[in-house]
């Protein structure tokens, strides 16, 4: 039998944990925060120059390139999270308005239809 190496220690435990976590419910706020952070990471990944030659060309041309710091990513994630959290309120407001218009358009009992 082989001795476990540092790379394989805990793999069985992690495998069992992963199986148990498959059906675990995630709170909406945590899910929204995870989505916002993922979107922020992708946003900043898109806005960075990843090609070394292009970066050198931009540098030689004197274009203002800002360094990307972790707090910038988190600030973007917080803004996206606030927007996503407010989305449910915006949707609720639209639904309430649509229902109110629908109720106003509905003829009351005893009134003949306009048709």
Confidence band of 79 (pLDDT split at 50, 70, 90): very high
Radius of gyration of the chain (CA): 26
pLDDT (0 to 100) of residue 32: 83
Residue 92 is encoded by which pair of tokens? 């609720």
pLDDT (0 to 100) of residue 11: 73
Neighbours of 41 (CB within 10 A): 13
Q: Is the pLDDT of residue 75 over 90?
A: yes
Whole-angstrom Cα distance, residue 47 to residue 74? 15
The residue among 112 and 114 whose pLDDT is bigger is 112
Domain spans of the chain? 25-105
Q: Is the pLDDT of residue 42 over 70?
A: yes
What mean pLDDT is predicted for residues 11-30? Answer: 75
Quote the mean pLDDT of the chain: 76
């Amino acid at each position: 039998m082989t001795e476990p190496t540092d790379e394989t220690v805990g793999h069985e435990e992690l495998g069992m944990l992963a199986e148990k976590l498959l059906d675990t419910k995630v709170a909406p706020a945590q899910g929204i925060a995870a989505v916002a952070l993922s979107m922020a990471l992708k946003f900043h990944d898109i806005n960075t120059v990843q090609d070394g030659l292009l970066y050198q060309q931009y540098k030689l041309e004197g274009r203002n390139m800002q360094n990307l710091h972790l707090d910038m990513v988190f600030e973007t994630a917080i803004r996206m999270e606030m927007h996503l959290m407010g989305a449910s309120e915006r949707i609720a407001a639209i639904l309430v308005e649509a229902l109110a218009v629908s109720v106003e358009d509905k003829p009351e009992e005893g009134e003949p239809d306009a048709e």
